[in-house]
Structures are given as structure tokens and as C-alpha cells.
Chain A
Amino acid sequence: MSEKEIISRLKNIVKPYVQRNEGLENFNEETDFLRDLEINSANLVDVVLDVEDEFDIEIDNDSMEGMLTVKDAKSIIQKKMAV
């Protein structure tokens, strides 16, 4: 799967949780889930579950903790999909 494809799918996944729409308009690799999108931190676990379903992978707790930006998420997804 191309990086572009992963990022576009990620954008769709986070959409319902986003509380700051400007963040979504400028969605890119540097986008921070909490700071730029203002996703409620409690909802991050839901984002992770949605990512697991979308890419058919499993994201362990350690990986989740490092998932702060779109770039982090992308590399975790790539790594897990390669396994």
C-alpha cells in the first residue's frame, strides 16, 4: 500500500473524532492528533481500534503510546503490515 493511500485512509478514520476542522483541512504527516485535531485523548483508543480494523493489524500498547502524529501512525502501520 502506498504512503499516500495509508494517509488518506487515516484521514477518513480520524474524521469523526476531530474537534478542530482546520486541522483536518491541513491534514499531513506532521499533523498531531491531540494538538492539531483536538481529538479527545480518551478517543485515541478508539482511533487505534479503527486503524486495526482498517489495515487488519494489531497495535500493541507500546506502539500506541508512540502514536502522536500522522507520521508515527503511518510508520507503525507500515511496520505491522510488513510482518
Chain B
Amino acid sequence: MNRRVVITGMGVVAPNGVGLENFHSALKKGKSGIRFFPELEKLKFSCQIGGKPEISEDLLNNYFTPLQLRGLNSSGIVYGVIAGTDAWKDAGLKIEENNTPDWDSGIIFGTGILGVDKFREAIHLIDEGKTRRLGSTSVIQTMASGISAYLGGILGCGNQVTTNSSACTTGTEALLMGYERIMAGKAERMLVGSCSDHGPYVWGGFDAMRILPNKYNQDPEKASRPMSESASGFVPGSGAGALVLEDLDSARRRGANIYAEVLGGEVNSGGQRGGGSMTAANSEAVVRCIKMALKNSNVNPEEIDAINGHLTATTRDSVEIENWTRALGRKNRDFPYINSLKGMTGHCLSASGSIECVASVLQIKNEFLFENINCKDTHMEILKFISEESIPKSKLDKEVNILTKSSFGFGDVNAVVLFKKYNA
């Protein structure tokens, strides 16, 4: 039996828009979510800006019970629960208070590190000899799988409920893992996504590596500049993205709204060999990952209309572009359109893959390509491989049939997925 997998619901908590509609409109406007944080200045960070979704108390009360809110100090859980619950409801699925879980629905919801602020709270208490004061909330908010556990309980899922972790590929990898589970016939639908905590304890390590921009503290919205000559590092972000993947037959039976189809994809690793390292991608592995993703999806390179790249605004952007041209055998004017969400949101780390998958699918469904904000001065190295026309400098109204999305992460890991417009 040849199954097909479609996307029937989405939710997103991004620095430039909380909730699918707000995010959609932010994409169309090219709205930046990067802000200055006095806290980072006080802590003597070089990069004192970042991307942090704005969540009101009222909004929190819609997703968490008063008991769950007591001592809740894990931003990743807040973002993930909002995005995941939204996606579930957006798919037209109910949250039922019955005694039997939904055996056919599962969750793969990744993160890089969870509940950092909660963990800090615990560390202080423990060091003061007050371990007993931790209460019952420390473990569930800091275990990596806390996010899938929270969502699993809220939604009542009875299939596989787990958390994956692969640095900045996490969200895209989660999507492909959920896709494979449905294709294998082991689940009817999978809520997939990822989240990332915000704040100095997550971002500090990157600041110390001096890979974040330090010249834009007075001009935060200009700081994240993927593919630009003046790019000077990635702006750290946070948030969550979530998608409900569903077997096509199941979606049809329910009469569900279908956003797009997942054609397939590939995950691999460069083994930290051949130019790859803990922090840099082995180009051969990237090229191979893209080629295999196309092969697994039965798509020819010339069928690709658009690429949503990883493109973080570091010196590696031009290498990524070169890898795409090699993998697709297309360059200069023949190259597809390409954009990077990170110009608006910064690099949302473990949440980036899922937030960017949501952005990719919104573009297909609503027939547009968002602007590469801050890419006014395309990097000369990039223009050796592709033409300016491939890099939208303003929103482009355009039918997109097949879009491919890539994510790369520390540890030399790669993930590439292909989405297609769904025609009923």
C-alpha cells in the first residue's frame, strides 16, 4: 500500500508572530522579531539582541491550567505547548477528556535543551542545601522529553510520544521522523515540531564562540542578514513550530483542511570528516542529503520551484548556496527561488527547523514567497553561483508547487524535506 502524508494543521510561536495568522501576516510584511534586551547588556554580552516571542498572561491561561502554571519557568515548554495545541486544534482535532488515549496519534517534538531557567532555579536551591524546596516541578520541566510529555498529556496521544534532539536540524528531523512513522503504517497522524528556550543561559555559549553579531545592538532589526555581504553572524532566537502530519486517507475521511503534502526527505551526517567538524558541515554530506531527499521524493531537480534554506547569516551561507547548485545541477538564472526566514526571526536554534517548515508550507498554501529582509547587498561569493533574481528582495506573489527546506546542525548533521502543493 502506497501511503501519502499531508499536513492538516499548524501552530507557531515565533519572535515575529505568535499564532498562525499573526505569523502569516508577519511573513507577508517582512516583519522583524529581533529586539534589544537590557538584561544581555547588563550581563556584558557582546550580542545584546535576540528573538523572543511575546506571550501575554492571558494567552498562557488559554493553554495551561492554574496548577500547570504554578512554578512554570520553562520557556521551551510554554512555546511548544502553545504551538502544539494550536496545530492540533487547527487540524480540527478535539481534545477529549476520556479515559482512553488516541492510539493512532503520536508526537515527535524535539528540543535542544529544555527548561534552562527552571534548571538554574534548581541549581541555586541545591547549592544552598535546600533540595527539598524543589518541589515536584523540577524534573518534568527540565527533562528533554518534558515538551512531548506535556503535549502528550494535554492531547491524550497513545501512539509514540517522544523528543528528538539534533541541534539546529531538530525540527526538520522531527517532521521526517513523524512522516516515516506514518509511511510505515504505525500511526495515522503525528504531531511533529520542536521548541527552543530563550535567554542568556541558552545564548551565552554562542556569544562566547563569537559567532553572533556585536555591531547591531542599537539597530536590532538590521542585525540578521542572511546571504548579505555585511552579514556578521547569526542572531539567537527562540520559539516553537508544530505541524500535524496525517495519512491522506485519514485526512480525507475527516474532511480535514490540507495545507500541503510531504513528499519525503533525507537526514544524514557528514561524520565530521572531509571538511566537516563539530560546527561546520561536510559539503559532500549536504549535497548527498539534498540528492537523496529528491530521490526519496521522486522529484527531479528542475521541478523545484523554491528553497527555504538554513542560511543563518554567517560566512557559511555562500557554501550552502554552492552546495545547492551542485546538488541540483542548477545555477545562475536557472536556480530556483531561495529565501531564509532567519532575517526576520533570527536563528531559533532547535526550534528553527519547525518554525521554518511552517513558513515553507504557508508559502505554498498561500502562493507567495517572503522577502529576504536585510539582504540588500547580496554577498559576492553567492552571486558567483546564483543570480539576484533568485533571491526575493520583496514579497513575491507566486504559485509554488514544490518547495524544499533544509536544516543543518552542530555535530555535522543535515535534514532536507520536500513539500508539494496539494491539489484535491
Interface residues of A (CB under 8 A from B): 16-17, 42-43, 45-46, 49
**Interchain Cβ contacts under 8 Å between A and B, 18 examples:** A16-B66, A16-B67, A16-B70, A17-B67, A42-B136, A43-B67, A43-B136, A45-B132, A45-B135, A45-B136, A46-B70, A46-B71, A46-B135, A46-B136, A46-B137, A49-B132, A49-B133, A49-B135
Chain B residues near A49 (CB, 8 Å)? 132-133, 135
CB distance from B407 to the nearest CB of A (A): 36
CB closest residue in chain A, given B136: A42
Taking A16-B70, A43-B136, A49-B133 as known contacts, 11 extra A-B pairs with beta carbons closer than 8 A to each other, sorted by chain A number, are: A16-B66, A17-B67, A42-B136, A43-B67, A45-B136, A46-B70, A46-B71, A46-B135, A46-B136, A49-B132, A49-B135
Chain B residues near A42 (CB, 8 Å)? 136
Rounded to whole angstroms, the CA-CA distance of A49 and B131 in the bound complex is 12
Rounded to whole angstroms, the CA-CA distance of A45 and B70 in the bound complex is 13
Rounded to whole angstroms, the CA-CA distance of A49 and B67 in the bound complex is 15
> Of B70, B71, B132, B133, which is in contact with the most chain A CB atoms at under 10 Å from its CB?
B132
> Of B70, B133, B135, B137, which is in contact with the most chain A CB atoms at under 10 Å from its CB?
B135
Chain A residues near B70 (CB, 8 Å)? 16, 46
Size range of the chain B interface in the assembly: under 10
Rounded to whole angstroms, the CA-CA distance of A42 and B136 in the bound complex is 6
CB distance from B153 to the nearest CB of A (A): 11
Chain A residues near B136 (CB, 8 Å)? 42-43, 45-46
CB distance from A56 to the nearest CB of B (A): 14
CB closest residue in chain A, given B70: A16
Rounded to whole angstroms, the CA-CA distance of A49 and B135 in the bound complex is 7
CB closest residue in chain B, given A58: B132
CB closest residue in chain A, given B133: A49
CB closest residue in chain B, given A41: B136
Chain A residues near B133 (CB, 8 Å)? 49
CB closest residue in chain A, given B140: A42
Rounded to whole angstroms, the CA-CA distance of A45 and B139 in the bound complex is 13
| B101-147 with Cβ < 8 A to chain A | 132-133, 135-137
Chain B residues near A43 (CB, 8 Å)? 67, 136
CB distance from A52 to the nearest CB of B (A): 9
Rounded to whole angstroms, the CA-CA distance of A42 and B71 in the bound complex is 14
Rounded to whole angstroms, the CA-CA distance of A43 and B66 in the bound complex is 13
CB distance from A16 to the nearest CB of B (A): 5
Rounded to whole angstroms, the CA-CA distance of A48 and B132 in the bound complex is 10
Rounded to whole angstroms, the CA-CA distance of A17 and B71 in the bound complex is 13
Rounded to whole angstroms, the CA-CA distance of A49 and B136 in the bound complex is 10
Closest 7 CB pairs of A and B: A42-B136, A46-B135, A16-B67, A45-B136, A46-B136, A16-B66, A49-B135
Rounded to whole angstroms, the CA-CA distance of A77 and B66 in the bound complex is 26
CB distance from A35 to the nearest CB of B (A): 19
CB closest residue in chain B, given A39: B67
CB closest residue in chain A, given B137: A46
Chain B residues near A45 (CB, 8 Å)? 132, 135-136
